[in-house]
Structure 1
Amino acid sequence: MLHIGCHLSSSKGFAAMGRQALELGADTFQFFTRNPRGSRAKDLDPADAAALQALLAEHRFAPIIAHAPYTLNLCGAEEKNRTFARETMADDLRRMEFLPGQYYNFHPGSHVGQGTEAGITYIAAGLNAILTPEQHTTVLLETMAGKGSEVGGTFEELREILDRVLLGEKMGVCLDTCHVSDGGYDIIRNLDGVLTEFDRVIGLQRLKAVHLNDSKNPPGSRKDRHACIGDGAIGLEALARIVRHPALRELPFCLETPNELPGYAREIALLRELAAF
């Protein structure tokens, strides 16, 4: 069975997101932990979190994905920016303990001229400062498109970060189809080869989730602009192969396409149909 959902607004609370996901035909979803362009987080209601946890169990959801704000940069050039990222992520992980067993995804960051090696060193150090043996949340590094000074545009860069994290069992990877295609990995014509390369460099056991997005730009463009399913350069046929692939089909897939809720419902229904072939 395909586990698929989309990005939902958390403005009405946890349980409301779960109910909305069910209305869309989803059995997973993603949400921002706080304002994606800022730092403020709503007060957490433990009863609301417990209600969502019960709904997830009742309807056999795959793990859901909390997404860190875009403003966080664990490898920023200024110490105050790195400190802000560490403190915000640590707070997010404390809050995620009210939803045990889920995922927390973040963009590794941009080294802003310091160099990839320095970026990787800072990211790993930041993770080592905030991960705890007691936490019940798996933290996911997202594959990036490699634009600008982004870290994580290659599997090797992600592996370097993972190798330096002391609590490696608390870590995983989220593969974004738009990002890896824009980053130069040929998931259109050679999906098996890309997954073999991922397994060789990182290990498929580390792959925990997929962001399923088409791309507005051709492979290798390093642009990172998402398109609706079937409307972009990756195309419906290639995305159908992804949701049907035996190495991926048990993972939670999350749509981040430029859609309103009715569009998400259509894409979820279409991909469930394609996955059934």
Structure 2
Amino acid sequence: MGVHTVRPDRSFITAAPDYLHIGAWLQPSPVLEISRLNFLSRLKSRLRNNPTLRLVYPVCRQQERPDDIRFTAEGKSMEQLQAISEYFKAHKLRLVTAESCTAGLVAATLGGQPGCGSWLEAGFVTYAPEAKCRYLQVKPETIEKYNLTSEPVAREMVEGALHNSGANAAVANTGVAGPGGEDGIPPGTICFAWAFEHNGTTIVFSETRRFDGDRNEVRQAGTDYAIERVVYYHKQLQSGIPARSA
């Protein structure tokens, strides 16, 4: 597997298990192979010197040309993720994730940050309804009444993740990534919830958003939104803006 870094001029970098491939889409230029030992320093240098570079998904197999994959959903830059990491550390947040349609992408994105062990507590991936009930204590009647893609389910997911971990902050999502809709819910719809332990009470925020793009673009956009709103809602909480208590 590899991770593609894409620029507006359609050039790309692929970090594969054994090589770093640097080439250009749709251009006949040869591929340069660099030993894995040089990968991190080369990639960090390129990201530092060109702020337009972004890590994006989906990933491609080694040697595979990504001509048939659309990379329109950009992941957060290293600078943005570093700022979020610093915020978590400064405010002594320990985060747990509970993911459905993003299937671990939120935790994986945050886990790429150096030093994340000081604030990333755990991650649950509960795709099936039964897993949501078993590991996050989502009530079957909540699913039956409101549907899997609903804010009540997202709220129970986030509360379950928080209470089943040593974290003091949590984020959850459940949605329809696509390509088709489900139960009348259009593709790209994701329900989110964020929870914080605050003065002995669990405070929960929730939203529903719809994202454009194919399945993996929706998952990437949902991941970005889930992460950035942790900081947003924590700031709201610090400012005294009310939310519903669990």
> Is the TM-score greater than 0.5?
no
* TM-score (normalised: structure 2): 0.27
**Bigger RCO of structures 1 and 2 (CA < 8 A, at least 6 apart):** 1
* TM-score (normalised: structure 1): 0.25
| Larger strand percent | 2
